[in-house]
Amino acid sequence: MTKLLCKEDYLNEIAQSRDRRMAWWREARFGMFIHYGLYSQIGRNEWAMVLENIPVKEYEHLADTFAPAPGAPREWAKLAKRAGMKYMVMTTRHHEGFSLWDSQANPYNSVNFGPRRDLVREFVDACREFDLRIGFYSSLMDWHHPDGWRCAFDSEARRRFNRYIEDLNTELLTNYGKIDILWFDVARPMETAEGWNSLAMNQRLRALQPDIIINDRSYLPEDFSTPEEHITPVDHDWEACMTFNGISWGYVDSTQSAPYAYNAQRILKMLNTCAKNGGNLLLNIGPTPDGGVPPEAVAPLSTVGDWLQANGRAAYGPMTKEAKMYGNGGSDITHAGQSVFLWYWLWPATGEMSVGGYMNAPKAVRLLQDGSPIEFTHDGHRITLKNLPKAPPDQTAGVTVVELVFDGDPGYVFASRYPQLHGGKAYETDGRIA
Ligand code: GLC
């Protein structure tokens, strides 16, 4: 029986173990979100059941026609690995209330209906085969369970529903070996941690998986924040979760959604923003009705994976958060240890380019992809790269990374609006001398 702590003691206790539990996650940087369920057959968004007001009895028939192809989760994991992703988070049960595992608490599941398979088991096996850390998405909101709405105003219904939700998550964290992430979603209709009994539930769930990390969507801050469809850094651990098309987490018709899908360059720009500001990117794919990888995701993710093979040092691993450090406008940076990585979205055809604000001269400048040295000068706070190839050296995505290696602090002064130096020092924008 887990001895339960008060909220303050609980939050203090998990804060003490956070660095140890999150070390892999902070270095992983990049993960794949999977949204797959009965809604995938509808192909009009994972919220179709409520947005189109489909009655429960009508919606339930989707359970009979749900037919994921054999090996579907393995294809997801294979692509995630190919893309340079280090972990996956899969919807074990979305708001529709259908469990993708052999649940005793919820008979409305993929072993009793449709494929009569435990897809969570297949997902876990696939993640382990491809050496990917494992995350379970677990919706709190439930549109199928009769107490899923009554719990908001009927205390007995709430007690039953709290028990149900905890039983579901207990099954998930008991029956599938080591699980790395518990990703709660949409704590509705109750609107407090007390309503969800989160303090007791999360402590008991953590006792099942002592190394697990939990997101912030059960009305407790837990381990990391989850900005959704926007990349907004905060002063603690955070992970931006993004759809592939800005339209839907669940599958939508590929032909019509492809024009909205990210290309490799947009994915790399998101990855740069996350890495530069010390956060993670959880990029979603919504598998097709039979569990296939949506075709519009394959090429961009494969290109990103190839790019990360050659340039991963600029993206993975511990980073110095640098919201106020920049490249040259056509580039942006990440900062890791004594290296500042310039990610060039636009490569100059002039054979030369400068970047301002760096008071200290680098001891070396090189192409990250192959280590080839780059000639440079340093004058005041201006680094100028010389005799550059006319075409972008990176032929994978056209995003070339130049590594500036310093002996210590780059001495970055937010690039002065006034290029003139004052006795060798840059003006700050408020007239102060840096
Ligand atoms: C929102 C959506 C939900 C999706 C989640 C992913 O909460 O309601 O469908 O699973 O975002 O973060």
How far apart are alpha carbons 416 and 430 in whole angstroms?
Answer: 10
**Closest atom of ligand 1 relative to the 228 alpha carbon:** 12
Cβ neighbours around 95 below 10 Å, total: 22
Is residue 241 scored above 80 in pLDDT? yes
Q: Which residue has tokens 């680094």?
A: 383
Give the Cβ contact number of residue 318 at 10 Å. Answer: 10
Q: Which pLDDT score, from 0 to 100, does residue 426 have?
A: 64
* H helix or E strand, kind and range, residue 18: helix 7-28
Whether pLDDT at 434 is above 60: no
pLDDT at 3: 86
Task: Please say if the pLDDT value at position 325 is more than 60.
Answer: yes
For residue 93 the two structure tokens come to 């049960």
pLDDT at residue 421 in the model: 66
pLDDT at 191: 94
* Separation of alpha carbons 84 and 309, rounded Å: 8
Predicted pLDDT at 378? 95
The model's pLDDT over 257-277, given as tens digits with 9 standing for 90+, comes to: 999 999 999 999 999 999 999
Confidence of residue 381 (pLDDT cuts 50, 70, 90): confident
Whole-structure pTM value: 0.96
Cβ-Cβ contacts under 8 Å for 251 (sequence gap 6 or more): 35, 36, 39, 40, 43, 286, 287, 288, 289, 294
Span from the CA of 258 to the centroid of ligand 1 (angstroms)? 20
The pLDDT value recorded for residue 422 is 67
Residue 359 or residue 423, greater confidence:
359
- Whether residue 431 is predicted with pLDDT greater than 60 in this model: the reply is no
Q: Which superfamily, per CATH, for 7-314?
A: Glycosidases (3.20.20.80)
Strand partners, 421: 426
Burial 22-54 (b: 16+ CB within 10 A, else e): beebbebbbbbbbbbbbbbbbbebbbbbeeeeb
Instruction: Find out whether the beta carbon of 239 lies less than 6 Å from any atom of ligand 1.
Output: no
Average pLDDT, the chain: 95
Average pLDDT (81-109) is 98
Cα separation, 140 vs 97, whole angstroms:
9
CA distance 66 to 62: 6
Instruction: Tell me if 185 CB under 6 Å of ligand 1.
Output: yes
For atom 5 of ligand 1, the residue with the nearest CA is: 185
Q: Do you find a cis peptide bond into 210, omega within 30 degrees of 0?
A: no
Dihedral (CA of 220, 223, 226, 231) sign:
positive
Q: Which residue has the higher pLDDT, 374 or 357?
A: 374
Of 69-78, 245-254, 422-431, least confident by mean pLDDT is 422-431
The residue whose CA has the least distance to atom 9 of ligand 1 is 46
The four Cα atoms 76, 82, 88, 92 give a dihedral, to 10 degrees, of 0
Domain 331-421 listed as CATH 3.40.50.2300: no
DSSP assignment letter at 293 = P
The whole-number average pLDDT for the span 157-173 is 98
Go through the chain and tell me how many residues it has: 434
Cβ 161 under 6 angstroms from ligand 1:
no
Mean pLDDT calculated for residue range 82-97? 98
pLDDT at 416: 61
Give the mean model confidence (pLDDT) for residues 194-222.
98
Cα(266)–Cα(102) distance, integer angstroms: 38
Sequence spans of domains, the chain: 7-314, 331-421
- What pLDDT does residue 430 have? 59
The whole-angstrom distance between residue 284's C-alpha and the CA centroid of its chain comes to: 8
pLDDT of residue 322: 82
Tell me if 223 sits within 8 A of 213, measured CB to CB: yes
Ligand 1 centroid, distance to 95 Cα (angstroms): 9
* The pLDDT of residue 358 is above 60: yes
**Can you tell me whether residue 339 is helix, strand or coil?**
strand
**Continuous H helices in 60-118:** 62-65, 72-82
Higher pLDDT pick, 19 / 329? 19
Reported as a single tens digit per residue, the pLDDT across 279-304 is: 999 999 999 999 999 999 999 999 99
Whether the CB of 394 sits within 6 Å of ligand 1:
no
Nearest to 369 by CA among 307, 304, 302: 307
Q: What is the pLDDT of residue 433?
A: 57
Other residues' Cβ atoms within 10 Å of the Cβ of residue 348: 16
Residue of 184, 247, 173 lying closest to 220 (CA atoms)? 184
175 C-alpha to ligand 1 centroid (Å):
25
